[in-house]
A and B are shown apart, each in its own frame.
Chain A
Amino acid sequence: MKQVPDPDTPPSAFHVDESANRVVPPPGTPPVVNGFDLNATEAALLLKDAAGGTDVEITIIAVGSEFVMDVVKRPLSMGADELVLVDDPALENLDAFATARVLAKTIEAQGPFDVVLCGRQASDWDNGHVPLVLSELLGFPCISFARNIKVTDSGVRVERSLTDGYQVVDSPLPAVITVTNELGEPRYPTLRGIMAATRKTPTTLSLNDIGVTDGDVAASLELTRLFVPESERRVEIIGGDDEVDAGRQLALRLREENLI
């Protein structure tokens, strides 16, 4: 799970610090849990519901810094069992590879598991790399864009969303599965869940605790330049002899610009 700037913040409110290659969110707007990660939480809860609520334990893992407690506890309020935060200032601006390495070590430190669920991508950079690298590091299959997950005798059966339909794949477990919003709206937390969550203390781990080295968090990607592209808005009123002619002129003009 990733804590991200609220994607509903208007883009104009963000400031791009070009000298530091950083995006600065507007001060005073609280972060949120990445939306697809709530879909992944919902997927986990559905698996737990399907298993009758017993014998399934859901651990939420987040890697980062400056966690806002009432934000990151949201999956707990929805019904997850445990929250593990790897909290270190060094983790503020990791690339996908470093994040996946830290996650892999954190996951391995938790003991055996059946499935790792991730959001399909994070709304801050929309890269969607972490789960793929993570599955590689863990050595398990990766199934992306899940819109439905069922546990079967031999593993899982997953419906993968495609642009023109969906694909059904079977996979052994353990596996890494990325979840898409087509899975359905994540449930609201309940007041009871919120109260229970506030009583839970997350497990907070340092990089040392899980044996992460400087090499692990070293960047593999270099961001060379971050800037807001200049954009220009031009309006052209297209007329014609009558409505039909105006439509024709519009179509011609759009073709001229290679837009249709």
Chain B
Amino acid sequence: MTTNIEEARKQILAMVREFVDRDVRPAAAQHDEDDTYPTALVDQMAEMGLFGITIPEEYGGLGLDHSTYAMVFEELSRGWLSITGPIGTHSILAHALAHHGTEDQKRRWLPGMATGEHRAGLALSEPGGGSDVASLQTTAVKDGEEYVVNGNKLFITNGREGNIFFLLAKTDTTIEPQHRGISGFIAEKGPGFTAGKDLNKLGYRGVDTTELIFNDYRVGTDNLIGGEEGKGFYQAMDALETGRVNIAARAVGVAQAAFDDALAYSLQREAFGELISERQGIQFMLAEMATKIQAARLLTYDAASKKDSGDRFDLEAGMAKLYASEICAEVTLDAMRVHGGVGYIKDLPLERYYRDAPLMIIGEGTNEMQKLIIARNLLKRARAKG
């Protein structure tokens, strides 16, 4: 009998839901307040196998589809956005390796990544800019069987806790267009490669986001992803497409958590002698929140299923990321409105949802960049039709 994916998915989601309700939600507020890394939760996720969801089975992962992965992300984020951090950019390197790595690289790295022994991050953004990837400044200069890397990366999630990174650096600084000079490496922490201090963030707290410093860091040529220079930009953009679906799924999860709380509160809070849920003003908010969340969810699942069927999905991923992150910010604010004053107080998670929401607007390509991608695709399709 072959794997029944529907049955597996249901069981996986039931397990994640239980983990979120039993372990994540009760722990989130304290970690958020103290900005402490949720080591026990992350270890538990590794034990469950969440680090290897999309890694192919032959390399020790589960080989599950991106739809299941998106649903897992949505469910985790319903508990606490930050808990997705350790597996988010981890999966981006996994994707790049699985799709563009050499056979040797896959065998060497993917099994350890699937168990969570290797914890990965994405080292792309720099102090000089994140959106304009092609202009990145970090360089990798070939020296025999090694490259010597110099430069700084900024805003790198898992910077302290991670041990391997998808490093984007220029192996050619003169070539035009610039992005053809970018190569992708698997960079292991070691001499010349250190993490700076943790950044103090508005939201997405508890998970480490740091600067990475490369100072004459030596990386072997066998760590050049795909064994070919100049392919890093494409490898990263390809992997980031799936990253955008995950960002959309996270936004849906956070928005859902805020909505669930708002709905429950409206059914218990009385004002002017009546439950506030009886008020049309509140009902309209609830109706709009739920409709937006469902629309965002469907956009997300649609993008994920396009990816699963092997179609191009950059347009869909961009739309899902753009819409889901924008409505997440709206819904988390509206959920706070429904709560009134108590929604603004740290005793409830409403203000955390609200602080967490903007990450999805900025991370993995700002929403302005998403609009550019969406428009570029629309225009390309229109032109192709003539």
Chain A residues with CB under 8 Å of chain B are 69-70, 73-74, 77, 188-192, 194-195, 197-201
Q: Which residues of A contact B378 (CB under 8 A)?
A: none
Q: Are B11 and A199 in contact (CB under 8 A)?
A: no
Q: A189-B11, A189-B15 are in contact. List 19 more A-B contacts (CB 8 A).
A: A69-B7, A70-B7, A77-B11, A77-B15, A188-B15, A188-B19, A188-B44, A188-B47, A190-B49, A191-B48, A192-B49, A194-B8, A194-B11, A194-B15, A195-B3, A195-B62, A198-B7, A199-B1, A199-B2
User: B102 → chain A, closest Cβ, in Å?
Assistant: 26
Contact flag A192-B62 (CB < 8 Å), given A198-B3, A199-B1, A199-B3: yes
Contacts of B343 in A (CB 8 A): none
Q: Mark B27-66, 1 if CB is under 8 A from A, else 0.
A: 0000000000000000010011110110000000010100
- The 6 A-B residue pairs with the shortest CB-CB distance, nearest first, are A191-B49, A70-B10, A198-B8, A194-B11, A70-B11, A198-B7
A199 — which chain B residues lie within 8 A by C-beta?
Answer: 1-3
For the complex, what is the distance from the CA of A143 to the CA of B330, rounded to whole Å? 57
With A198-B3, A199-B1 already in contact, the answer to whether A191 and B12 are too (CB < 8 A) is yes
Contact (Cβ within 8 A) B1 A201: yes
> B60: nearest residue on chain A (CB-CB)?
A192
Interface of B is mostly: helix
Please, how many angstroms separate the alpha-carbon atoms of A108 and B19 in the complex? 37
Q: How far is the CB of B259 from chain A (nearest CB, A)?
A: 19
Q: Is the CB of B7 within 8 A of A191?
A: no
Bound-state Cα–Cα, A195 to B3, Å: 7
Instruction: Return chain B residues, CB-CB under 8 Å to A77.
Output: 11, 15
Chain B interface residue count, CB cutoff 8 Å, equals 23
Q: Would B44 and A194 count as touching, CB distance under 8 A?
A: no
Q: How far is the CA of A70 from the CA of B7 in the complex (A)?
A: 6
CA distance A199 to B11 in the complex (A): 13
Query: In whole angstroms, how far apart are the Cα atoms of A214 and B140 in the complex?
Result: 79
Interface of A, secondary structure class, is helix
Of the A-B pairs whose beta carbons lie under 8 Å apart in the complex, a sample of 29, sorted by A's number, is A69-B7, A70-B7, A70-B11, A73-B7, A73-B11, A77-B11, A77-B15, A188-B15, A188-B18, A188-B19, A188-B44, A188-B48, A189-B15, A191-B48, A191-B52, A192-B49, A192-B62, A194-B11, A195-B3, A195-B8, A195-B62, A197-B11, A198-B4, A198-B5, A198-B8, A198-B11, A199-B1, A199-B2, A199-B3
Taking Cβ atoms with an 8 Å cutoff, the residues of B that contact A are: 1-5, 7-8, 10-12, 14-15, 18-19, 44, 47-50, 52-53, 62, 64
Q: Which residues of A contact B52 (CB under 8 A)?
A: 191
Residue of B nearest to A73 (CB): B11
Residue of chain A at shortest CB distance from B21: A8
A189 partner residues in chain B, CB cutoff 8 A: 11, 15, 48
- Are B53 and A70 neighbours in the complex by a CB distance under 8 Å? no
A135 to B346, CA, bound (A): 53
Least Cβ distance of B54 to chain A in Å? 11
The residue that A191 contacts in the complex, of B2, B10, B44, B62, with Cβ under 8 A, is B62
Known: A73-B11, A74-B11, A77-B11. Is A190-B4 also a contact (CB below 8 A)? no
Q: Which residues of B contact A191 (CB under 8 A)?
A: 12, 48-50, 52-53, 62, 64
Write out the residue numbers on chain A whose beta carbons fall within 8 Å of the beta carbon of B2. 199
How far, in Å, is B65 (CB) from chain A's closest CB? 12
Chain A min CB distance to B58 (Å): 14
Chain A nearest CB from B84 CB (Å) reads 16
CA distance A129 to B52 in the complex (A): 43
Q: Which A residue sits closest to B72, measured CB to CB?
A: A191
- B330 shortest CB reach to chain A, Å: 29
Q: Output the least CB separation between A162 and chain B (Å).
A: 27
